């Protein structure tokens, strides 16, 4: 098995904090051993860990960096609506916003909850396994004996593009029916497994009922899919589909 791990992997990444996260998932039987880093990003690092069952797929362990050092684009934009959705009082919101650790936990638990909901509703996402205040464990999506590539790196036959587009647009519509919008959907956070797409990376997901830019983000997700699938007039078609979906969604929610 030839797996390409992050070239800039540094053993120093296994500091006390990350060792604690590995120990947490080891003690709960989620992973069988520590694994090397597969992907290292600004907000989190993803580790390739063996599962505890012989026939079980490997586990992707996503360990987040401290929220104070992360560079999410306009973090407040993605937090909009999450606090309302959680039904927090003004006092609790103020406490959360003043406590980086609590905000960090809240952010990760929100991502885990959304992944659970999407998976249970049959959407093409990895199976979430467990989460704590610093990390999220999920099924590793494999292509044969190697981790599945992102769409941007995959060799996709031209004849597969219409089916790929239909699957992703259906997923976007289904997410909206659950009040959710991915918010950053692109060829960088969609995997390609056995000729089907699997959507990943949900820290920026928003609740459409509470977010002031929901329609804009919905249209952007649709447009990114259409552009990748080489659809003619992607801009116009994305606008029309977003208009239709948003109108239907508003009607269903009595807005």
Give the three-state DSSP class for 168: helix
pTM of the model: 0.84
- Rounded distance between C-alpha atoms, residue 125 and residue 241, angstroms: 23
- pLDDT (tens digit per residue) in 3-21: 444 444 344 444 455 778 8
The Cα 187–Cα 57 span in angstroms is 23
Q: Which segments within 99-145 are labelled E, that is strand?
A: 128-131, 135-139, 142-143
Residue 44: predicted pLDDT: 87
Q: Which domains does the chain carry?
A: 1-146 (3.30.200.20), 148-255 (1.10.510.10)
In tens, the pLDDT along 161-186 reads: 999 999 999 999 999 999 999 999 99
């Amino acid at each position: 098995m030839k797996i390409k791990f992050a070239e800039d992997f540094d053993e120093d990444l296994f500091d006390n904090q990350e060792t604690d996260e590995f120990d947490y998932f080891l003690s709960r039987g989620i992973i069988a051993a520590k694994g090397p880093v597969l992907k290292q990003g600004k907000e989190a690092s993803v580790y390739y860990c063996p599962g505890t069952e012989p026939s079980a797929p490997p586990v992707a362990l996503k360990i987040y960096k401290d929220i104070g050092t992360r560079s999410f684009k306009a973090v407040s934009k993605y937090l909009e609506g999450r606090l309302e959705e959680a039904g927090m009082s003004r006092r609790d919101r103020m406490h959360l916003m003043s406590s980086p650790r609590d905000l960090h936990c809240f952010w990760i638990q929100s991502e885990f909850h959304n992944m659970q909901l999407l998976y249970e509703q049959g959407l093409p996402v990895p199976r979430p396994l467990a989460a704590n205040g610093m990390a999220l464990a999920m099924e590793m999506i494999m292509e044969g004996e190697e981790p599945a590539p992102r769409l941007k790196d995959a060799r996709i036959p031209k004849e597969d593009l219409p089916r790929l587009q239909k699957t992703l647009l259906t997923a976007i519509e289904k997410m909206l029916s659950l009040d959710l919008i991915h918010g950053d959907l692109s060829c960088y956070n969609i995997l390609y497994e056995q000729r089907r797409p699997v959507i990943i990376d949900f820290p920026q997901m928003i609740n459409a009922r509470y977010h002031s830019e929901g329609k804009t983000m919905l249209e952007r997700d649709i447009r990114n899919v259409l552009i990748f699938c080489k659809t003619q007039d992607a801009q116009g078609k994305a606008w029309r589909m977003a208009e239709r979906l948003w109108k239907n969604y508003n009607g269903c929610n009595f807005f």
